[in-house]
Amino acid sequence: METVNPTEPTPTRIAILGATGYGGGELLRLLLQHPRVDVVAATSRSREGMPVGHVHRNLHGWTDLAFSSPTADWIAENADIAIGAMPHGASAETLAPLVDTGQRVIDLSGDFRLRDARDYAHWYRREHPRPDLLEHAVYGCPELEGDTIATARLVASPGCFATALNLAMLPAAAAGLLRGRPQVVAMTGSSGSGAEARPTTHHPERAATLRPYKVLAHQHVPEVMQLLADAGSPVDGIDFTPVSAPIVRGILAIVSAELADPDARPEDLYREFYAESPFVKVLDDREPEVASIAGSNYVEVRARRTPDGRLHAVCAIDNLVKGAAGQAVQSLNRMIGAPEELGLTWPGMWP
């Protein structure tokens, strides 16, 4: 008869809602190997009954799970935490009934990131279906909100671009040094546009070009401004130019911002701020690049002061891991009382 070690915690049961996209696939890749969780459901209405490995081919042989379409009652009864990897709008409508039951939820969409429903309506061009829940959501940036995430019942995981911008500016914001309107250019891989190809996002259409899009109008801007204000540096706005790049994975963000103290030393400030952050590598001998962190939850950041006393910061992340599924697993680890880095500590691929 198999014996049970009483010192080992009971695995946390996880349901992944909307598991056929790239975000859902990365959640499955990370959580199927996580020592403290048991994935009990991977949901999809369109692929119900299909083995997970038939859609996410890298997971063939790793699991016997098939996509399912369980009811909210089944999820509430059989899962301890639900993680949503669905599009904006659909996510709130699906997850809100689970939150109402008291179930703990992590949402990868933008539906619960902004505290003001009017901001959501402006940036996402739809009315929020459950504005009453916005005040209960915790923004899932472990580098700033780690203790709050641990006790949250609803975690709004940051967007991919927002994660890169947050980490590029957070130490300066926490020191009260940012002011004015930061200028940002950030390039992203084609996987950030999702698994369904569209004319402007299909990889062959972008493989030989760099294309700016949503210039000064990207929906991640308000959540970054909200975080910077929470950290201690309200800014007047962010002039953000996203660029679609001819790569599959990764985001490289380049920030230029006015400093309240033009004599500040960002190099020392960033190294000290991220000293206890297990996934942030503060560089001083080379520039951040996406290839060295691809497939991993690690971040590369470098910050300097320009000759005229401005902040110059560069940040590289994997958009699907640190910018989506990996960051959600960091929050999950805090929610279940596990070490923040559990199940996430492999290096990036090189070359």
Catalytic residue numbers read 160
**Cα gap 57→339, rounded to integer Å:** 29
Write the DSSP assignment of 154-204 as a string of letters.
EEEPPPHHHHHHHHHHHHHHHTT-EEEEEEEEEEE-GGGG-SS--TTTSHH
Residues 177, 259 contacting (CB under 8 angstroms) = yes
Q: Where are the alpha helices (DSSP H) in the chain?
A: 22-31, 52-55, 72-78, 90-100, 117-124, 142-150, 160-174, 203-206, 221-231, 266-273, 326-335
Q: Which of 217, 208, 213, 216 is nearest to 243 (CA)?
A: 213
- Extract the tokens encoding 2: 């198999």
Using CA atoms, how far residue 137 sits from 5, 41, 76, 96, in Å, is 36, 23, 19, 11
| Rounded CA separation 243/209 (Å) | 10
Do 50 and 66 touch, CB atoms closer than 8 A? yes
